[in-house]
Amino acid sequence: MQDTDVTRLSATELIELYRRRELSPVEATRAVLAQIGSRNAVTNAYCLVRDDEALASAKQSERRWQAGEPAGLLDGVPVSVKDLLLTSGWPTLRGSLTTDKAGPWNVDAPTVARLREHGAVLLGKTTTPEFGWKGVTDSPLTGVTRNPWDTARTPGGSSGGAAAAVASGLGPLALGTDGGGSIRIPASFCGIVGLKPTHGRVPVYPPSTFGTLSHVGPMARTVADTALLLDALGSPDYRDPLALDRRAPLRGSGQDRRRHSRGPQAPDRPGAGRDSGGGPALLGARLPAGAA
């Protein structure tokens, strides 16, 4: 691994290297934190970085991999969290001077809780315009976030910090939010992959001020990584009554992950469930003979 830039590896590549014991989560996390230390001043992608906590989490992951017992789909993978999503122990200031830094900050949003369950290494919080309301990323609290490809330009918004971080090697995965384009705009501006999931696919709490228009979704440098993160995020949460009942395995093989990525399984009865994506057959509709 001496000639490899670890910060440019995808999450799926990291996991495979962990599995083969050619790289450890501690080495990967240290590399990403060093990159944040040298590059974040240029882009202002992060508004909060917790080095010590990230390294402690990486060491726990390293022990699990050494024992052959990874915690989930993302064990040891560095991930950032947009500063609109509640994260226990960290302030979620939403880019605003009006948010009380004192908290209390003792609740994880469903997506952050899923990251912890799947063993991800949380690096810190990425910048957002105040309350995530616009398509560029600047705020009275954190200032201007810049596009890593051209710092005279915006990375878009409102998940501009997340997109800038992923594009510049400050973590292979990021959580973003999207109402009117807040994942898709910065993903396109920064040359990465971002997805606004179907409503209910990823649980949300607390409810957004934009109502059901705003969703939480994955951001990454590859389609495979985006799908991997979406699989981890998609388990239902009791705090969101509109969340779909679709679970990802916490301790599954790659085959298990691919099975869950295809959506709900068909019922065990003849002729039923021909639409495994949750279409008419799963909803109880009668399909004409010979229908696909």
Which amino acids are annotated catalytic? 82, 158, 182
Tell me the residue type at 137.
Answer: T
Tell me the sheet residues that pair with 219: 174, 194
> Which of 121, 119, 137 shows the shortest CA–CA distance to 129?
137
- Residue 249 buriedness (CB in 10 A; 0-12 / 13-18 / 19+): middle
Please report the beta strands in the chain, taking only residues with DSSP state E, as ranges in sequence order: 46-49, 78-82, 121-126, 138-139, 143-144, 173-178, 193-194, 215-220
- Alpha-carbon distance of 147 to 165, in angstroms, equals 9
> Which of 237, 236, 286 shows the shortest CA–CA distance to 264?
236
DSSP 149-215: TBTTS---SSSHHHHHHHHTTS-SEEEEEESSSTTHHHHHHHT-EE--PPTTSS--SSPPTTGGG-E
Q: Which residue has the tokens 């230390």?
A: 37
